[in-house]
């Protein structure tokens, strides 16, 4: 008898947190992430958010843990680790070593691609989404069936940037930090320390990100935008 796929249980366990099951992929032969016992994982379940639905839950937790370092990473672990243990998997996170290729996993699991800003763009949520962790499983069969919560997996869609001729994201940055050649980190951070930067991007979010027309209805709240900008700068 086949072992029940854990997708529905994982999705249900995550629901109170506002996080969601983003997608599944089968680990590529020869590039499997290692489990704590040293054996290769065979299936990977990505956990993250679409829009800012998790923010009120995280904010309430943060108020109860005001002195914790790296609050969003700490909260993500507090949410995902018990879900992983209950599902029989092992949680891993973008913030921890060894660094796992979360962006490559996401492109394979959800068929997403990079935007000109380097962020993965979602056809519905635009740049307003993210990944908070993943659950590794030892059995490859777990990755062969797609959970109902992983609706994007395997679907073909038009990449939003392919049909965006104006590319407003590239022209909106006050210091031209984004270009086809890459991201000028020093230009961005220097600008953020100026008065204009403090009143602009630091207060209301990255102007280049804000310029993207895709998924605007899912834009993060001001509090969330300021949190992310403070963490980056």
Mapped onto helix, strand or coil, the DSSP state of residue 96 is coil
26-83 pLDDT, tens digit each = 998 899 999 999 999 999 999 999 999 999 999 999 999 999 999 999 999 999 999 9
Please, which pLDDT band fits residue 181 given cuts at 50, 70 and 90?
confident
- 184 and 76 belong to one structural domain: no
Please, which pLDDT band fits residue 141 given cuts at 50, 70 and 90?
low
* pLDDT cut 70: percent of the chain above it: 91
**Taking residues 121-130, what's their average pLDDT?**
96
- 153 and 171 belong to one structural domain: no
The tally of CA atoms less than 13 A away on the side-chain side of residue 138 is 11
Please, which pLDDT band fits residue 147 given cuts at 50, 70 and 90?
very low
Query: Within a domain: residue 186?
Result: yes
**Taking residues 176-187, what's their average pLDDT?**
91
Token pair listed for 137:
């499983």
Out of 115, 132, 158, a domain closes at 158
CA gap 202, 191 in Å, rounded: 10
Tally of domains within the chain: 2
Please, which pLDDT band fits residue 232 given cuts at 50, 70 and 90?
confident
Query: Within a domain: residue 185?
Result: yes
Query: Within a domain: residue 126?
Result: yes
Residue 89: the pLDDT is: 96
Please, which pLDDT band fits residue 131 given cuts at 50, 70 and 90?
very high
Residue 224: the pLDDT is: 97
**Taking residues 188-194, what's their average pLDDT?**
96
* pLDDT cut 90: percent of the chain above it: 82
**Segments forming the whole domain that contains residue 41:** 7-158
- 95 and 203 belong to one structural domain: no
Out of 158, 185, 207, a domain closes at 158
Q: Are 175 and 131 in contact (CB under 8 A)?
A: no
Q: How far is CA 145 from the centre of its chain?
A: 22
Residue 180: the pLDDT is: 79
Alpha-carbon distances, residue 54 vs 4, 61, 79, 131 (angstroms): 28, 11, 11, 12
Alpha-carbon distances, residue 205 vs 30, 91, 150, 168, 220 (angstroms): 40, 30, 29, 15, 9
Q: For the full predicted model, state whether its pTM sits above 0.85.
A: yes
Residue 148: the pLDDT is: 36
Query: Within a domain: residue 132?
Result: yes
5-14, 148-157, 202-211: the lowest-pLDDT one: 148-157
CA gap 105, 185 in Å, rounded: 24
């Amino acid at each position: 008898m086949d072992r029940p796929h854990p997708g529905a249980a994982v999705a249900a366990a995550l629901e109170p947190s506002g996080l969601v099951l983003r997608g599944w992929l089968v680990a590529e032969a020869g590039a499997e992430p290692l489990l704590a016992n040293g054996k290769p994982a065979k299936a990977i379940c990505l956990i993250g958010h679409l829009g800012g639905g998790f923010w009120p839950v995280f904010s309430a937790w943060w108020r109860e843990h005001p002195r914790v370092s790296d609050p969003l990473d700490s909260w993500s672990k507090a949410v995902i680790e018990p879900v992983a243990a209950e599902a029989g998997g092992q949680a891993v996170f973008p913030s921890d070593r060894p660094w796992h290729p979360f962006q490559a996993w996401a492109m394979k699991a959800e068929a997403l691609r990079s935007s000109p800003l380097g962020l993965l763009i979602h056809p519905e949520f635009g740049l307003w989404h993210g990944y908070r962790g993943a659950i590794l499983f030892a059995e490859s069969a777990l990755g062969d069936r797609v959970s109902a919560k992983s609706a994007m997996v395997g679907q073909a869609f038009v990449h939003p940037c392919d049909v965006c001729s104006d590319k407003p994201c590239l022209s909106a940055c006050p210091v031209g930090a984004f270009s086809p050649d890459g991201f000028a980190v020093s230009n961005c951070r220097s600008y953020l320390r100026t008065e204009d930067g403090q009143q602009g991007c630091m207060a209301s979010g990255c102007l280049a990100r804000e310029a993207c027309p895709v998924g605007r209805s899912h834009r993060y709240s001001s509090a969330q935008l300021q949190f992310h900008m403070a963490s980056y700068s």
